[in-house]
Structure 1
Amino acid sequence: MAKIRAEQLAAAVKKNLAPVYFITGDEPLIVQECCDTIRQAAREQGFSERELHHTDTHFSWDELYNSANALSLFADKKIIEIRIHNGKPADAGSKAIVEYCSSPNDDTLLLLVSPKIDSRSQKSKWFTAIEKVGATVQVWPIGIPQMPRWVDQRLKAAGLHADSEAIDILCARTEGNLLAAVQEIEKLKLAAEDNFIDAQLMTAAVMDSARYDIFGLVDKAIYGDSRSAATSLQGLRSEGTEPLTLLWALTREIRSLNNIKEAMDTGESFDAAARKNGVWEKRKPLFKAALKRIKPRQLQDLIRKAALADRVTKGVGTGNVWNILLDLTLGLAGMPVLTAKTQRLEFRS
């Protein structure tokens, strides 16, 4: 069998249940859901017993041999689940996995779970042995760009529909935390009267994941309240907010302002341009005031500075990302960046 993507797993196990599965990745929610999917499919096929092992200091890979060969007193079929804590089964584990995969037990399903493994491990004998008789599922993290699509899919799976602005709000307020997003979606099922969620309902229903709200920071900046926006940025930093999340929120508004300005320069009305760029009705006065305050050249400078911040967060640019985020925040508030006043506001590393 070949590699299976997490989103394909449910269909794959219904079609054919493999004797061995290896789930690897650093996204706990998706890893857990993949395991649940396999367990549920196995239970439906008579695997009613489950043994769980962790490869800590007290674990011996002999337990795999013993469990696979032991007769159960309570069930005909069982699941042996082994959590490999560091993704490396070592020599003893590699030997045990290879030997098991050479002749898997029809009455046993082996489920191996580990954090993300490196490319070297994917070329190992034990990994190759699993691929020959079973299936591997590599769980990739959901990044900021993929989060809106993932949230939209989860909402639809819950019987809900939301506009793009509402989805963006949920993404920002859960800050890439998939478990938090799923929990909020469960609450939204109770709040949506007609199964449709707009930005206003989303704002009211979703709990802020931080005391200093990311959207509050952005609105303060667009409003022109540079001091309060800078304070919110410092608060979000102190609460451990990821710089990439803040960069996404600030860049989104900067690009929206620039797109609206360019559309208006070609003769399009503000309302039409704002609607195309996802600016909902209650925020239009903020954007209209910001466009009067911020010059087009400033917007272009902010877009370039946002690109620099993106490179810094990825390790391919130089600079202090928090100082760049401060420049973006103050620039969005209409203050020229890199002035003496800006320098006095810079964060200390």
Structure 2
Amino acid sequence: MPKIRPEQVAATVKKSLAPVYFVFGDEPLIVQESCDAIRTAAREQAFIERELYHTDAGFSWDELYNSANAMSLFADKKIIEIRVHNGKPGDAGGKAIAEYCASPNEETLLLIVSPKIDARSQKSKWFTAIENCGATIQVWPIGPQQMARWVDQRMKRAGLNADSEAIDILCAKTEGNLLAAVQEIEKLKLVAEGTLIDAHTMTTAVTDSARFDVFGLVDKAMHGDSRAAAHSLQGLRGEGSEPLSLLWALAREIRALNSIREAIDSGEHFDRAAQRNGVWEKRKPLFKGALSRLKTRQLHDLIRKAALADRAAKGMANGDVWNILLDIVLGLAGTRVLSAKNQKLEFRS
């Protein structure tokens, strides 16, 4: 099956479902929306159950064999979703994926989600097996050059039209943060009179933003201001913000930091690594400051906590998602919190 572009996913899966999908990239909003489209189409075709696995500590690729071969109590079709936290399934994972793709279960849809993977991994046996059996969706970052066009398309999808000046204002406000841009567009639908958005309307809407905003939270944490970041998180919670929206914004920066850290440790220059990870020029000092505080081990711990927060928000792990988000915010700010190895992670059956 050919590769599917993210903007084609919703229409493609409505026509027919592949047995295996691999969604990968470092643009959390688009990755999430691509996965949502696949899950929605699968549910419409009676894939009722969903099993979610994360390839962090304690995961075994035997889970794929066991889950695919296990009969459901009610004989429902099911989705097996595996999130490969570092984009590297390893030898055991590569073998398990290739073997599954050689003989997929008709009652199961396998969805694998991962950050971006390198060119070498895209030539591996397991990746080729997915291409031969199912479909791959590669999500590319939206850079400064593409941002205006993306915002324009998103506005039209929301039933709004904006002139070029208004679009430039929104791009400048959100600085490449897609989730933030979507939130602003949703707000415009509520406050704008009519469907035509000009520069004045956009400026007014941006000026009237809520006191606490997602980017402010992330920037305060990245700056190392733990007190202000925790205060922003509490404010966002009080305003009824969705925890998953905050998590996407935090996880995006944490993954970028981790990717840049790995690149620097491998000898790559910071500027090149930052550009490759979609870091805008204005935000480079913020990333440099965060990297000066955070070690590789701390970044990996934050990635694990983000995965736990995702599960808790979806009712698949015990624990208060807001407490976990606070841990993430404080950890990103460089404040020492309870070590992951001392946390008891209890999963709901």
TM-score in terms of structure 1 length: 0.60
Alignment-derived partner of residue 183 in structure 2 = 183
Alignment-derived partner of residue 8 in structure 1 = 8
Alignment-derived partner of residue 152 in structure 1 = 152
Is 2:43 the partner of 1:43?
yes
Structure 1 residue 76, shift from structure 2 partner: 1.7
Instruction: Give the secondary-structure state (helix, strand or coil) at the position aligned to 2:51.
Output: strand
Q: 1:173 to 1:68 in 2, by over 3 A?
A: same
Structure 1 contact 83–114 (Cα < 8 Å) conserved: yes
Instruction: Give the secondary-structure state (helix, strand or coil) at the position aligned to 2:144.
Output: coil
Number of aligned residue pairs = 223
Unmatched segments (≥5 aa) in structure 1: 212-235, 241-311, 316-320, 323-349
Alignment-derived partner of residue 303 in structure 1 = none
Is 2:19 the partner of 1:19?
yes
Instruction: Give the secondary-structure state (helix, strand or coil) at the position aligned to 2:138.
Output: strand
Structure 1 residue 142, shift from structure 2 partner: 0.2
The residue identity in structure 1 corresponding to 2:32 is Q
The 5 Å alignment of 1:100-139 reads 100-139=100-139
Structure 1 contact 94–125 (Cα < 8 Å) conserved: yes
Q: 1:207 to 1:54 in 2, by over 3 A?
A: farther
The 5 Å alignment of 1:55-66 reads 55-66=55-66
The residue identity in structure 2 corresponding to 1:83 is R
Instruction: Give the secondary-structure state (helix, strand or coil) at the position aligned to 1:101.
Output: helix
Structure 1 residue 87, shift from structure 2 partner: 0.6
Alignment-derived partner of residue 313 in structure 2 = none
Structure 1 residue 169, shift from structure 2 partner: 0.3
Alignment-derived partner of residue 93 in structure 1 = 93
Instruction: Give the secondary-structure state (helix, strand or coil) at the position aligned to 1:50.
Output: strand
Segment drifting more, 41-50 vs 198-207:
198-207
Q: Per-residue displacement from partner, 1:218-251 (whole Å, max 9, x unpaired)? A: xxxxxxxxxxxxxxxxxx99986xxxxxxxxxxx
Structure 1 residue 206, shift from structure 2 partner: 1.9
Instruction: Give the secondary-structure state (helix, strand or coil) at the position aligned to 2:98.
Output: helix
Alignment-derived partner of residue 204 in structure 2 = 204
Structure 1 contact 4–137 (Cα < 8 Å) conserved: yes
Structure 1 contact 188–205 (Cα < 8 Å) conserved: yes
Structure 1 contact 166–197 (Cα < 8 Å) conserved: yes
Q: Per-residue displacement from partner, 1:57-85 (whole Å, max 9, x unpaired)? A: 10000000110011112452000000001
Structure 1 contact 79–108 (Cα < 8 Å) conserved: yes
Alignment-derived partner of residue 192 in structure 1 = 192
Alignment-derived partner of residue 72 in structure 2 = 72
Superposition CA RMSD, Å: 2.5
Q: Per-residue displacement from partner, 1:303-326 (whole Å, max 9, x unpaired)? A: xxxxxxxxx9558xxxxx88xxxx
Unmatched segments (≥5 aa) in structure 2: 212-218, 224-269, 274-280, 283-349
Structure 1 contact 169–203 (Cα < 8 Å) conserved: yes
* Aligned mates of 1:238, 1:116 — CA distance in 2: 24
* Aligned mates of 1:129, 1:94 — CA distance in 2: 10
Q: 1:77 to 1:165 in 2, by over 3 A?
A: same
Q: 1:191 to 1:6 in 2, by over 3 A?
A: same
* Aligned mates of 2:222, 2:60 — CA distance in 1: 41
Instruction: Give the secondary-structure state (helix, strand or coil) at the position aligned to 1:145.
Output: helix
* Aligned mates of 1:68, 1:198 — CA distance in 2: 53
Is 2:166 the partner of 1:163?
no
* Aligned mates of 1:209, 1:26 — CA distance in 2: 27
Segment drifting more, 68-77 vs 189-198:
68-77
Structure 1 residue 208, shift from structure 2 partner: 8.4
TM-score in terms of structure 2 length: 0.60
* Aligned mates of 2:45, 2:142 — CA distance in 1: 32
Structure 1 contact 175–209 (Cα < 8 Å) conserved: no
* Aligned mates of 1:314, 1:106 — CA distance in 2: 44
Structure 1 contact 174–208 (Cα < 8 Å) conserved: no
Q: Per-residue displacement from partner, 1:156-196 (whole Å, max 9, x unpaired)? A: 11111111100000010011100000011110001121111
* Aligned mates of 2:84, 2:207 — CA distance in 1: 35
Structure 1 residue 39, shift from structure 2 partner: 0.2
Structure 1 contact 22–135 (Cα < 8 Å) conserved: yes
Segment drifting more, 192-201 vs 33-42:
192-201
